[in-house]
Amino acid sequence: MILKSLLFPATILASKTGFLDHATHQEDYDGEDGIHVITSDQVFFDEFVNKNDLVFVQFRSPVCAKCTQHNGALNIALDEINLLRQAGIIEQKVQMIALDCMAASETCTRYGVKKFPQYSIIRTDGYFGGNFREKVSSKNLVSYLKYQAGPPSKYLDLMSELKDLTDNNHDRAVIVGFFKNKDDKRFPAFQETAKSFRVDDTFRFYHMFHPEVAKRVIGSGDGIAIWREPRFETPNDPRMSVFPHDKFTKGLIERFVLGYGYGPVPQVTLRNRERIGWPHIIFFVHDVDFEFDSEDRENSLAWKERILQLHAEMANENEQGNENWRYSMANYREFSELVESDLQMYKFNINRPRDKAVAHIAAFESHKHRWVCPHTLKLDGDMDKIKYWLKMLYEGRVKMHVKSEAIHADVPADQSQPVSARAFDVLVNKNEDVDIMLLVHANYCTHCRLMKPAWERFAKRMQNEKSVRVMQIEGYRNDLWDERYRPTKGFPTVYLKKKGFNNDPIEYTSESRRAQDFINFLLQQTERDMNILTDEEIGWDRADEIQDKLEKIYTDEIGPLGHMKADMLDQLEETIAEEMAKLRAEVGDDKFQEIENEILRNEQKTIDYYPEERVEHDEL
């Protein structure tokens, strides 16, 4: 018996058995299922995208249990949308379908599908209209599709409608444009801006043609105003802001919306982080929650005022660069993986406090360019250390953070040398003396673990060749800051960097990943003789060949996007059984049992993919 965990990622097996499915709200639907499952890229575009104004797509896989649980809500929403169309409330032609990404992988790749289910809007000509990110319920779906299928800016006719809108915009900020009439020359720029923001549904846009209302609300006959959610209002941050320019252009309106729509200290979430933009300084605080009925609201408002105070003090001290950085706050729990894994705040400083009275600080110019503050901000007390760190940041004197393991010790020549991000430039880019074969892998990656014996055998066979060094870097625990070594197709990926300073790497692209394949690639690229040991000279045995067979079976039988095709599981078990029967006949029962017992012993070991390391913090 060969354990399935050698062959399948845990998520694949769990998807088939249902163990990984989280509790999902399921709505019952008694009618005929109207959500067609499409299995062809061509049919998707020819019969649906090109014949409708808007297609709401559930990207799914055959083994996705949650996709099936959502069917009731999708059908109820579809029925309501059809009724709204018949009543003339929705003018656009809307269709709702499901697309099987195992059968139509090209389309799923085109629209960036990374997990199932993903809900997206595809408009005419294949234009991507944004992802649906709210809880999947028929109510949320109808509300979302009514907005997406209607005009980008909705008309308000009465003052009472405006008041009701601004008093109850608890889920997102609203932008209202006030114009003289529909022929106002400023109106088209406002409409274009509304259309561009509709993709991610962060804000909602409205307009009025009543100058007398505009004078009462914003003090002039025309203009634009933003009302942020009431829950974010503080004494130093009123929720309403008015467009400060006389000239109306799409660019100016967009900058106004992005600058004032989130407020001076916005709450950053996983959903709005990209739209808020760069650069920004995030204060991570435990249990940030501005909801009116939340027990953490008072603490969240106090933190917002504290950060506003810090920003004002930096501005008063005329620190050059302060105006270029946006201050924001975020819920620590929502970004715990970023804080603890990517930014490694606790890894390098185990004494950091973990409570609501402190904020952890990091600055971002992009996803790659970030700086971690070694100090924490408190709700009371002085801010001198934080202000000094910010001053150094503005002057470009803070060392940029690189997610990295500790620098590894040298290993013998018959082993693959581990490389950390901190040592990457020295050991790889600036290494002019040897050719480097580098494996970029991840400890959690099943493909990588299956390939490991072949890579170790490759290193053993190359141990006597002094002009070549075999290395590896763990791509999850280390920032691959040099984009030339960032895998485009996932882990594992192998590169050859030839002798010389900072030479561009050559990617190994063959699907066959055996020790001899790596050797052939190396010989072909370097075009010189090498001192390479044979399998017999390094003591390669039959157990290694089993691993080779398993890797080949696994690679050949995995479907698109790394998910196992449901109808191939039984076939794969039969293939393994046949291979094992051949091996048993070849080596005999006793040797076969010895090999199998060794595999079982290895499988029963508890694997800690990412054990904690404790090293000194060397940031400013």
pLDDT at position 550:
59
With a cut of 60, say whether residue 371 has pLDDT above it.
Answer: yes
> Is the pLDDT confidence value at 4 over 60?
no
pLDDT digits (tens, 9 = 90+) for 529-549: 999 999 888 887 666 666 566
Residues 349 and 274 in one domain: yes
Instruction: Give a yes or no: residue 105 inside a domain.
Output: no
Cα dihedral 313, 315, 317, 320 sign: positive
Q: What percent of the chain has pLDDT over 90?
A: 49
pLDDT at position 535, please? 84
- Nearest-angstrom CA–CA distance, 17 and 7: 16
Among positive and negative, which fits the CA dihedral 487, 488, 494, 495? negative
User: How confident is the model at residue 155, as a pLDDT?
Assistant: 94
- What is the pLDDT, as a whole number, of residue 602? 58
At residue 111, what is the residue type? Y
Report whether pLDDT(297) > 80.
yes
Mean of the per-residue pLDDT values of the chain: 84
**Sheet containing 204-208, strands listed edge to edge, beginning at the edge strand earlier in sequence:** 153-155, 204-208, 174-178, 223-227, 240-242
The H-assigned helical ranges of 242-369 are 250-260, 273-276, 297-316, 336-337
The region of weakest confidence among 8-22, 67-81, 605-619 is 8-22
Which range is least confidently modeled, 1-15, 69-83, 359-373, 405-419? 1-15
> 458 is in which domain, residue-wise?
417-526
Say whether pLDDT at 1 is over 50: no
- Residue 116 pLDDT > 70, yes or no? yes
Q: Kindly state whether residues 338 and 352 are assigned to the same domain.
A: yes
Last residue in a domain, options 526, 542, 576 = 526
Handedness of CA 488, 493, 498, 500 (dihedral sign): positive
CATH number of the CATH domain containing 349: 3.40.30.10
pLDDT at 178: 96
- pLDDT tens-digit map of 46-58: 999 999 999 999 9
424/439 Cα distance (integer angstroms): 13
* pLDDT band at residue 317 using 50, 70 and 90 as cut-offs: confident
User: Which of 517, 471, 465 has the alpha carbon at shortest distance from 497?
Assistant: 471
Q: Mean pLDDT throughout 278-298? A: 90
Residue 552 has what pLDDT?
Answer: 57
Read off the pLDDT of residues 553-602 as tens digits, 9 standing for 90 and up.
555 544 333 334 444 445 656 666 777 787 788 878 887 787 777 766 65
Cα angle 472, 476, 481; round to 5: 80
Both 173 and 246 in one domain: the answer is yes
pLDDT in tens, 95-109: 999 999 999 989 998
Kindly state whether residues 191 and 223 are assigned to the same domain. yes
If asked whether residues 259 and 280 sit together in one domain, one would say no
Domain count, the chain: 3
Clarify whether residues 287 and 253 are in a common domain.
no
Let me know whether 348 and 304 are in one domain: yes
The answer as to whether 299 is a domain residue is yes
Last residue of a domain, one of 526, 552, 567: 526
Q: What is the mean pLDDT of residues 79-102?
A: 91
pLDDT confidence of residue 347: 67
Cis peptide before 117 (omega within 30 of 0): yes
547/28 Cα distance (integer angstroms) = 47
**Sequence-distant (≥ 6) Cβ neighbours of residue 253 within 8 angstroms:** 189, 190, 193, 224, 243
Alpha carbon of residue 569 to chain centroid: 29
